[in-house]
Structure 1
Amino acid sequence: MSRKPAVRLVAMLLATAVPAAGAVLLAPTAAAEPAPRETLTWEPCAKIANGWDELTHGDTTTECATLRVPLDHARPDGRKISIGVSRLKATDPAKRRGVILTNPGGPGGSGIFLPLVVSRSELAPLAAEYDIIGFDPRGVGYSDKLRCPTLPEDNEKPPPGLTPKQTEKFRSDQQARYYKRCAETDIDFTRQLTTPSIARDMDAIRVALGEQKISYYGISWGTALGATYRSLFADKVDRMVLDSVMPPRFDLEAIDDDTEAAGENLFHDFTAWVARYDDVYHFGNTASRVRDALFTLRDQLASSPRVIGSGQSQITIDGDTVTQLMLGPRSLWADWARDLATIRDGDVPGEARRVEAKAAVAAAKAGADPRFGFDERFEYGNDFQGHAVICNESVSSRDFETVWRNKQERKRRYPAAGGLSRHSGTCVGWPLPTQPWNLKQNNASLQLVGHTYETVTPLPWALGMRKKIGGALLTVEDDVHGSLMHLPCASEAVRYFRDGAVAEDSCPGAPIPTPDSVRQVTAMERVTGDPLPATAPRPYRPAGIPAARA
C-alpha cells in the first residue's frame, strides 16, 4: 500500500528610554547582555525536589533551581511566576562549549529529568562538553501551575442507552465544563500558557545562565517550542536539533488525519509481520487473513467488552483495546501480538493485570498537595496545561458537529486507525481565542530529524517544517517517536553539536523484532520506568483516567 505523505506570536513591545536633557550618550564598545534581573541558585535536586530520589533511582548529580519570570513577558514588571530548572554541569570543564537547553515534548509534560536521560543515552558524550539544562514549562511539574480540583461530575459516566454520537457529545460537554472552570480560576495565567510564552521563559533561563547563545535539543512538541524560540530569538541560537518534528501549522483536524493515515500504513506492516509468524500467533498466514481476524475480534469486544477489577483500578478490554494493540510501535509488536492472541483465547494479558495493580497503588497514594515548587510532590504531566497550550494555539474547528462529521469520514477512509486520534475534539468549548503560531525562516543553525514510519509525528511534518523555517533533515528508518538519542546514529547529533556540520541523509533505526526478541530498555525508561512516550497509545485504561493524547 502506498504511504500517504503524511500562534500567531504576539510581538514583544520594546520600550525605548528617552534620555534626560543634557545627558551624554556613550556608544558601547561591544554589544552587552543586560544584567540578569533574576539569578539561579543551584542545589542538588535530591536535596530540594520532593520525590527526586525515588523518581530517578538515586540520582545525586543533577542540580535544581527556581527562576522567577514574568507571567506576561510584554509586562516585565508585572506578576511573576516560578519555573523549575535543572542542570547537569559539563563533566570536562576544560572542554566546555556552552549549554544545551532541552525539552522532551508535550505540551503538558515535565522536562526537568531530560538532562539525566540525555546523560544515560547515546547523546552522553555531550554531557562532557555542555551543561545540559532541563526545565518544567510553566503550568507543569515543579513550576507554578493551576490547581484544578476534580468534582464528582467530572468523572460522571454517560447515561445508558445513548448513541455513540450522544456519548461523545456528553463527554465533550463534560470536558468543556471542566476546562472552562479551570481556566476561569486564573484566566490571566491560562491566557499565557502558550508556546511563545514558554519560549520567552527559555530566553529568561539563557539570560539567568549568563549565556550569549544557547543550543537546544527538543522532541515532539519540544520541536514546536524550538522552532518558536528560533523564530523569536534567531541571534541567540547556537545549534538546534529537533527530533520527531511537529507540523508548521497547528491544526488539530489535519493532525488527526495525518496520524491516522500513518497508523493505517503501520497496521498493514503489522498484519504482514503477524502473518509471517502464524505458527506463533495463529491469526492467519496472509496479511489479509490477519486483518480480518483482528477486525472480527475488535467487533466482538466492541459489542461485549470485558471488565476487570473494580473502582479506580478497573480496566476494560474492548474494541478500542484491540485497535490500540494492533496499532502499536514495532518495538512492541511481539508483546502486543501475544496480548491479542491471549485476548482472542479468552484470557487476561499479563500486562493488563500489571496496569490494574499499578492503578490501585496510584489511587491509594493520590491526594491534593496545596504547595507549589520543589516542595510539591512531582507530577510527570499536567493535563490542563497541555490542553491550554493546544487550545490557545490550534486553528482547528471548535464546533462539535464539525469534529464529529470529520471523525466519521476518517473512520471510513482508514478502517484500522480511523477515529483513534482524539486531538480534533480537544478544544470544543475552550473559552479563549486562538493565538496561532507564526514560525519564521532565518539563518540560525538547525538540524531536523524525522522518522520514516512514525505515526505520532509523521515524516511529512518534518518535510513541511523544513520548507517553512529551513534547516537540514536527517531521516531515521524507524517508527519510534523521538528515538534518535537511543540509536547509534545519535552520533550525527553529537557531531553536529560539536562542529555545526548538519546531516542531510538517512540512518537505520532498531531492527524489526521477532517473536522472541528482547525489548531494549531506553534511557527514558531507565529514568521514568515508562517504555512508551507520553504520546503513545496505552491499551489498558484504568477507569476515570482519560486515554493519553498525542
Structure 2
Amino acid sequence: MRAKLFAALTSSMLVLGGAPVATAAPAGPGWAPCATVAKGWDAGDRRTECAMVRVPLDYADPGGRTIEIAVSRLPATGERTGAIVVNPGGPGQQGVTMPGHLADSKAAALNAHHDLIGFDPRGVGYSTALTCAPDETAPGPGLSEKDKAGFVAERDGRRNRECHDRDPALVRSFTTPTIARDVDRIREALGERKIGYYGVSWGTALGAQYRTLFDAHVDRMLLDSVMPPEFSVKAMDDGQAGAGENTFHEFAAWIARYDAVYHFGSTQPAVARALLDLRDELAAHPRTGPDGTVVDGAAVNRMMANPRKEWAVLAGQLATIRDGGVPAGNHAPPSGFGWDAEPTGFSEFQQTSLLCNESASPRDFDTVWQHRQDRVARFPVAGGFGIYEQKCVGWPVEARPWHLAAGTSPLQLVGHRYEPVTPIGWAIAMRERVGGDLMTIEDDVHGSLSALPCADAAVTFFDTGRTNTGTCQGAPVPGPPPAPAG
C-alpha cells in the first residue's frame, strides 16, 4: 500500500532532512488524488489530494535515516487565507481522512478559506510503520481475576518487547515531541510561514507540544476534548475512573426522574443502591439468555457508566435483568480514550509505544494491580475500567515525559462538562499551564464540537482569531421510549 504511494509521489515531493534538493526553489509535495494512489481510498472522493513528506527518523541525527509521513490536503473552496493541520487523536489513529470528515460536518466552513491538512503520524496508516499483531492467547479457565490480569499483562508485555526489538529506533521515536517536529516539517513542505491547527483528544497534546516548540509558526490553534498537561497513564486511569463514577451517579439520578417507567426508586441514592445490589446479585448468580448471552455482575457493572445517549436503552435493559430476563447483546465494556473512533486505520502498537515511551509509570504488574485495587475502592463502579496503566507492564524504554509551556499564539480550548474520556478538569489544568480561552460544551461526548451548531465558533476563531469563553448546548439526552399503545 505504501510502496504504491511512494512510487507515485517520491519523484516530485520535497525531501526534508536529507541531502539538499538540487534546485533553486524547492517544490512543494507532489500532490496526487488520494483515490488514485492510496489503496482502499474512497473512489468517489475527487477532492482530497495525497503526498509523502520525508522526515528524519531521529531529529538529533538529521542527516541519518529518514522515514515517510503520509499527508492529505483538501484545498480551500473559496478565497484561501491559509492551512489548518488537523489530528483526530488516538494516539495511533490515522489522520489523513480527517479533512474529509470535517468537510462533511457542521464545521465544514473551515474549508472555505483554509486548506485542511491531515496526516498519518509515524507508526500509523500509510506512514512508515511497524506491523505488530497482538498475541490473543486467552488465559486458562479457573484463574482468579488477578491471575487473569497478570497473564494478559505478561503476554502483552512479551509481545510488545518482541515488536520493539524488530526496530528499536523507530519504536523509540513514537513520542509527542517527535511527531510535533514532523508537523513542522509538514509546514515547511507546504511552504507556510504559519499554520492553523485543530486537534482532538491526544491531538490536543500534540497541538500543545507543537505550540511549545514552534509557537512562532502557529497562526491559530483549537484543541477539543483536552488532555492534561502532565502525562501519566495512571493519572489517565484515575481521572477517567473518577469521571465515570460521576456518570454512574448522574445516570442513577436520571433513572430516578423516570421512576414511573423503570421502578428502581424515586431518588438518586435509592436507584444507585438498587443498581449496585443488582450487580451483586448477578455476580453471585449469573444468568444465560436464550441466545447464549451471559449476564453476570461484571456485565451489569459495564452498563452503569455509559454515555448519556445510551441511558434510555441501558435503563430498559437493567430493568429487564432485575425482572428476571436477559437482554440480547454482549454488553461490551464502555469505550474510552483512544477507542472511541472507528478501528480502521488504528495502530494499537503505536498507541502503546507512545503512551509508555512518555509515561513515567510502573513497569511491574504487582504495582499496577495494587493501583487498580485502590481505584476500585475509591470508585466502586468505574474503578475497574482503566486499561492504560497495564499497557506499560514490561515496557523496555525509559519514559521521557512531556514538557509543555505557555505561548502567545491564539489558542481556543474546548471542554465537555460531563465527559468521562477527557474530563473537563484536564482542560482547565491545560489552560493554566499553556494559556488560551476555554469554551464549555454541555455534553459528555468526546470531541463533539464539529457535530454541533456551535462549530460556528471554530470557524469564527480560525477566520478572525476571536476566541470564545461561553457555553454551548450539546445534543439533548434522549428520554425513555413511549409506552406501548393500549
Deviation per CA, 1:175-198: give whole Å up to 9, x if none. Answer: 110111111111111000111111
Equivalent residue, structure 1, for 2:7: none
Give the Å deviation of 1:48: 2.2
CA distance, structure 2, for counterparts of residue 289 and residue 75 of structure 1: 63
- Among candidates 414, 417, 422, match of residue 452 of structure 1: 417
Match of residue 372 from structure 1? none
Q: Which residue of 1 aligns with 2:151?
A: 170
What's the counterpart of residue 85 of structure 1? 71
Question: Which of 177, 180, 193 is 1:199 aligned to?
Answer: 180
> Which residue of 1 is the match for residue 248 of structure 2?
267
Residue 40 of structure 1 aligns with which residue?
29
1:333 — aligned with what? 311
1:116 aligns to 2:100 (yes or no): yes
> In the TM superposition, what are the counterparts of 1:33-72 in structure 2 within 5 Å?
39-53=28-42, 58-72=44-58
Structure 1 residue 74 corresponds to structure 2 residue 60? yes
Aligned to 1:420, which of 366, 378, 385? 385
C-alpha contact (below 8 Å) 2:452/2:475 kept by paired residues: yes
Letter aligned with residue 241 of structure 1: L
Give yes or no for contact 1:199–1:229 (8 Å, CA) kept in 2.
yes
Instruction: Specify which of 470, 482, 488 is matched with residue 435 of structure 2.
Output: 470
Taking structure 1 as reference, are residues 425 and 37 closer, same or farther at Cα in structure 2, changes over 3 Å only? farther
What corresponds to 2:270 in structure 1? Answer: 289
8 Å contact 1:86–1:113 — kept in the other structure? yes
Q: Distance in 2 between matches of 1:307 and 1:301?
A: 11
Alignment of 1:347-426 (within 5 A): 349=327, 352=330, 379-426=344-391
Q: Secondary structure at the match of 1:418?
A: coil
Pairwise CA distance, 1:39? 4.1
Cα 1:301–1:48 change in 2 (3 A) is farther
In 2, are the aligned partners of 1:38 and 1:68 still within 8 Å (CA)? no
Tell me, in whole angstroms, the C-alpha distance in 2 between the residues paired with 1:35 and 1:461: 47
CA contact (8 A) 2:252 2:268 kept: yes
Deviation at 1:406, TM superposition (A): 1.8
Shift of 1:395: 1.8
- The root-mean-square deviation of aligned C-alpha atoms, in Å, is 2.6
Equivalent pair of 1:102/1:115 in contact (CA under 8 Å): yes
Match of 2:298 in 1: 320
| Pair 1:485 & 2:450 matched | yes
Q: Contact 1:172–1:425 (CA<8 Å) still a contact in 2?
A: yes
Distance in 2 (alpha carbons) for counterparts of 1:301 and 1:138: 45
Task: Select between 74-83 and 282-291 the one with higher mean Cα deviation.
Answer: 282-291
- Kindly indicate whether the alpha-carbon contact (under 8 Å) linking 2:293 and 2:328 is maintained by their aligned counterparts in 1: no
> Does the aligned pair in 2 maintain the 1:112–1:134 contact within 8 Å?
yes
Q: Distance in 2 between matches of 1:115 and 1:148?
A: 27
User: Could you tell me which amino acid in structure 1 is paired with residue 103 of structure 2?
Assistant: S
Amino acid in structure 1 at the alignment position of 2:222: V
Q: Larger relative contact order (C-alpha < 8 A, sep ≥ 6)?
A: 1
Please say if residues 456 and 481 of structure 1, whose CA atoms lie closer than 8 Å, have aligned partners that are also in contact: yes
Change beyond 3 A, Cα 1:167–1:65? same
* Range that drifts further, 244-253 or 418-427: 418-427
Q: What is residue 26 of structure 1 aligned with on the other side?
A: none
Aligned to 1:510, the other structure's residue is in SS state: coil
Per mean C-alpha deviation after superposition, the further-off stretch among 98-107 and 415-424 is 415-424
**Closer, same or farther: CA 335–43 of 1 in aligned 2, 3 Å:** farther
Q: Which runs of 5+ in 2 are unaligned?
A: 1-16, 18-22, 333-342
User: Which of 466, 470, 474 matches 1:509?
Assistant: 474
- The 3-state SS of whatever aligns with 1:61 is coil
Shift of 1:483: 1.1
Q: 1:308 to 1:298 in 2, by over 3 A?
A: same
Identity across matched positions, percent: 52
Contact conserved, 1:36 with 1:207, CA < 8 A, in 2?
no
Contact 1:298/1:319 (8 A) holds in 2: yes
Deviations 1:423-451 (A, max 9, x none): 22221110011111011112122111111
- Residues 39 and 71 (structure 1), Cα distance of their counterparts in 2 relative to 1, 3 Å cut: farther
Matched-pair contact (CA < 8 Å) for 2:288–2:326: no
For the residues of structure 2 that align with 1:316 and 1:46, how far apart are their CA atoms? 44
How many Å apart are 1:161 and its aligned residue?
Answer: 2.9
Tell me which moved more, 487-496 or 174-183.
487-496
1:339-372 residue CA offsets vs partner (Å, 9 max, x unmatched): 334455565645549x9xxxxxxxxxxxxxxxxx
After superposition, the C-alpha distances for 1:190-241 in whole angstroms (9 at most, x for unaligned) are 0001111111111111111111110000011000000000011111000000
Q: Give the unaligned 5+ runs of structure 1.
A: 1-14, 16-33, 356-377, 518-550
Mapping of 1:95-106 within 5 angstroms? 95-106=79-90
Which whole-Å CA distance do the structure 2 matches of 1:38 and 1:308 have between them? 64
SS at match of 1:425: helix
Assess, with a 3 A threshold, how the Cα gap between structure 1 residues 309 and 515 changes in structure 2: closer, same or farther. closer
Give CA-to-partner distance per residue, 1:59-110, whole Å, 9 cap, x none: 3322222222211122222112122211111011xx2110000011111111
- Segment of structure 1 superposing worse, 423-432 or 228-237: 423-432
Which piece of structure 1 moves more, 228-237 or 71-80? 71-80
Aligned residue pairs total: 451
Deviations 1:286-322 (A, max 9, x none): 3233323322333344455567999xxx986543332
TM-score, reference length from structure 2 = 0.86
Once the two structures are TM-superposed, the CA of residue 482 in structure 1 deviates from its matched residue by 0.8
Structure 1 residues 9-55: Cα deviation after superposition (integer angstroms, max 9, x where no partner): xxxxxx9xxxxxxxxxxxxxxxxxx988784222222222222228x
Question: Relative to structure 1, is the Cα distance of residues 118 and 317 closer, same or farther in structure 2, using a 3 angstrom cutoff?
Answer: farther
For 1:498-547, what per-residue CA distance to the aligned partner results, in whole angstroms no more than 9, with x for missing partners? 11111223222222221249xxxxxxxxxxxxxxxxxxxxxxxxxxxxxx
| Residue identity opposite 1:240 in structure 2 | M
Contact 1:213 1:236 (8 Å CA) reproduced: yes
Letter in 1 for 2:316: R
Match of 1:437 among 399, 402, 406: 402
Match of 1:125 among 94, 98, 109: 109
How is 1:128-277 mapped onto 2 (pairs within 5 angstroms)? Answer: 128-150=112-134, 154-277=135-258
What CA distance in whole angstroms lies between the structure 1 residues aligned with 2:58 and 2:237? Answer: 31
Asked whether the equivalents of residues 29 and 53 of structure 2 are also in contact (C-alpha less than 8 Å), the reply is yes
